[in-house]
A and B are shown apart, each in its own frame.
Chain A
Amino acid sequence: MKIGVLVKNVPDTETKIKLTSDGTGIETQGVKFVMNPFDEYAVEAALQFKEKIKDDATVTVVSLGPDRVVETLRTALAMGADDAVHVWDDAFEGGDMLTNARILAKVIEKIGFDLILGGKQGIDYDAMQTCAAVAEHLGIPQVQIVIALELSEDKTALVARRRIEGGDEVVDIKLPAVVTCEKGLNEPRYASLPGIMKAKKKEIKKIGLADLDGLTADDVGSMGSTTKIVGYESLAQRPSCRMLEGEPAQQAADLVRALREESKVI
């Protein structure tokens, strides 16, 4: 069974996002990039399937992005993935999610997988588009925001539990399929020291535009994109907080009055 995991590298959750002085970009200088937290659940899920199946299951991690994504691929290798594929070409610069999905679908088609896992969204652009679009291009089912996942005995199907507003959907899935992972699916493992040493020596396969049949420079990167970020804005600062004084009973009464009479939200 061949399992592919799509991983992305994103600014660490602790990062304070600063805009460039002209407001048209994000300052990446000094920003620490890590594996997208939701992708960690995907890598862990893949490794657990591999451990359960034992026979010839392989886990391949795939990441599209500039050279810094190699570090994230090595993290996945150190966790226990078998192979890593780095997808990048200068022509890919500036691509939006749907454009990148077109590239990733070609890569996946080329390698061939029985199951493709990913995080439910990147915590950078929070779009939740890439994996769904990959599934569409491959013509296979997708199930997103999954918090439980079981593989059938014959390894041709899955049962997933998908989180929706106010509940869960239980979904039967025929493989091959794309599944995206939500927090709660599992506890991602840490890379072991031997794992880290081994990962350092592993060769990472590189795939560029010339390796992908049917795609030209016009289809990818900013040229192939249908959306464009034209600028960023900081969030408006709230006026300073009004502290309510007095005994707790007084504070409670004053707060309720303020919510009712000043801000009129009650």
Chain B
Amino acid sequence: MTNDILVFAEIRDGSFKKINAELISAGLNLAEKSGGAVNVAALGGDIDAAIEDARKYPIQKVYAVKNAVLANYSTQGFADALEAVVKQAEPAIVLFGATAMGKDLSARVAARLGAALLTDCTEVDLEDGSLKVKRPVFSGKVYANVVSTNDGIKMASVRPNIYPASDQGGDPAELVDVACDLSADNIGAMVTAIESTAAGRKDVTEAEIIVAGGRSLKSEENFKILEELADVLGASVGASRAAVDAGYAPHSQQVGQTGKVVNPKLYIACGISGAIQHLVGMRTSKVIVAINKDANAPIFQHADYGIEGDLFDVVPLLTEEFKKIVEG
């Protein structure tokens, strides 16, 4: 085993995702302590552009498995390919994004290799050869400090928007093609289609700014005023469970305990009272703004800025104010 850190690169539609640059930055911190290098595993079908992008980061090697069988994500295909990379690169630590793909793949591969696995971390560190992480548990009600206790390979998935994205620079990283026999016949679950639901917006888990609405929006139609604000800010639209259950917004936008956990730099909660189930999904946001008619709404206890008022008055005015900045 080396002292190296391997970053599993998530590639979607042929492009190298932002989370990968965040993982490289987390990996560089770890590598400084371990005395190793950061390398990237790039797996997929037609991924030459993503590989070239990856090589521009301050890493040592890009280990690539290019195979048509990996054109779409499959747990088994990607697990076999990543296993082949791990056997060749012999990393001490493998980092994944805490995403649908990263969480699915990391658990499968960790089980196969007998690795230690720490999911959904907001801090990753190395101490006396152990991986030491902080991760939200109980849907973010508390943090757990967790360490790896094994001698062998350690793995962690890191939540998006925590580490700053690494800059590109320096000489291009070495490209290593890794041989791996893959056959579609051995893969029991295959993606046949991918359908976009976000209509041009980033998923709430990836968004830097979120404008979210609660049941006070009163209808699906009224969510348009949040969308108008989101458009000006390049933001995504979130919703409370109450709004989703009332049918005003799709579940893909739900923030909270039975929805998604988000971590944007700005979260604007409009007409959301702040039930614990919602708070746990958004309270690590850097700055929280609450707009609510009820001065006693719990959301104000967790916000940085509050406006006691009717969202139907305030939100359009905010949209106008932000427009001035964006256009000015």
Tell me the complex Cα distance, A239–B306, Å: 12
B107 touches A165 (CB 8 A): no
A232 touches B191 (CB 8 A): no
Cβ-defined partner of A14 (8 Å) among B106, B134, B276, B321: B276
Cβ-defined partner of A133 (8 Å) among B100, B107, B197: B107
Which of A80-88, A122-130, A195-203 forms contacts with chain B? A122-130
Tell me the complex Cα distance, A125–B136, Å: 8
The reply on B104 being an interface residue by CB < 8 A is yes
Which of B20-28, B40-48, B140-148, B175-183 forms contacts with chain A? B140-148
Shortest Cβ distance from A22 into chain B, in angstroms?
13
Chain B residues within 8 Å of A226, by CB: 114-117, 148-150, 152, 154
B111 touches A238 (CB 8 A): no
Which of B56-64, B165-173, B199-207, B220-228 forms contacts with chain A? B199-207
Chain B residues within 8 Å of A16, by CB: 141, 276
B251 touches A243 (CB 8 A): no
Cβ-defined partner of B101 (8 Å) among A164, A182, A241, A263: A164
Tell me the complex Cα distance, A126–B144, Å: 11
Docked complex: A1-35 residues within 8 A CB-CB of B: 11, 13-17, 19, 26
Digitize A134-163: 1 where CB-to-B-CB distance is under 8 Å, 0 elsewhere.
011100111111010000000000001011
Chain A residues within 8 Å of B198, by CB: 166-167
B120 touches A137 (CB 8 A): no
Chain A residues within 8 Å of B284, by CB: 235
Chain A residues within 8 Å of B300, by CB: 241, 243
A165 touches B149 (CB 8 A): no
Tell me the complex Cα distance, A172–B188, Å: 8
A163 touches B317 (CB 8 A): no
Tell me the complex Cα distance, A241–B72, Å: 46
Chain B residues within 8 Å of A132, by CB: 75, 104, 107-108, 111
Cβ-defined partner of A265 (8 Å) among B258, B259, B286, B317: B286
Chain B residues within 8 Å of A17, by CB: 138, 141-142
Chain A: which residue is nearest B113 at the CB level? A136
Tell me the complex Cα distance, A251–B291, Å: 10
Q: How many residues of B contact A (CB 8 A)?
A: 97
Cβ-defined partner of A232 (8 Å) among B104, B142, B206: B142
B317 touches A249 (CB 8 A): yes
Cβ-defined partner of A125 (8 Å) among B137, B195, B305, B322: B137
Which of A46-54, A62-70, A106-114, A253-261 forms contacts with chain B? A253-261
Chain A residues within 8 Å of B320, by CB: 252
B287 touches A263 (CB 8 A): yes
Cβ-defined partner of A259 (8 Å) among B119, B188, B266, B302: B266
The reply on A193 being an interface residue by CB < 8 A is no
Cβ-defined partner of A184 (8 Å) among B152, B188, B209, B251: B251
Chain B: which residue is nearest A19 at the CB level? B142
Chain A residues within 8 Å of B257, by CB: 13, 37, 123
Chain A residues within 8 Å of B148, by CB: 226-227
Digitize A174-189: 1 where CB-to-B-CB distance is under 8 Å, 0 elsewhere.
1001000011100000
Chain A: which residue is nearest B120 at the CB level? A126
Cβ-defined partner of B325 (8 Å) among A125, A225, A241, A260: A260
Tell me the complex Cα distance, A211–B302, Å: 50
3 nearest A-B pairs in the assembled complex, by CB-CB distance: A141-B188, A132-B107, A226-B116
- Which positions in A face B, CB cutoff 8 Å? 11, 13-17, 19, 26, 37-38, 97-98, 101-102, 123-133, 135-137, 140-145, 147, 160, 162-174, 177, 182-184, 225-235, 238-239, 241-244, 248-249, 251-253, 255-256, 258-260, 263, 265-266
Besides A147-B251, A228-B149, 10 other A-B contacts (C-beta < 8 A): A17-B138, A37-B258, A102-B111, A127-B119, A132-B107, A141-B76, A143-B189, A232-B144, A241-B305, A242-B306
- Which positions in B face A, CB cutoff 8 Å? 72-73, 75-76, 79, 99-101, 103-104, 106-108, 110-112, 114-120, 134, 136-150, 152, 154, 187-198, 201-203, 205-206, 209, 233, 251-252, 254, 257-259, 265-266, 276-277, 283-284, 286-290, 300-310, 313-314, 317-318, 320-322, 324-325
In the complex, 26 of the A-B residue pairs with CB atoms within 8 angstroms, ordered by the A residue number, are A13-B139, A13-B277, A125-B138, A129-B107, A129-B110, A131-B107, A143-B75, A166-B201, A167-B194, A168-B194, A169-B194, A171-B190, A172-B189, A173-B188, A173-B189, A226-B148, A227-B149, A232-B145, A233-B144, A238-B302, A252-B307, A252-B314, A252-B318, A253-B321, A255-B321, A256-B325
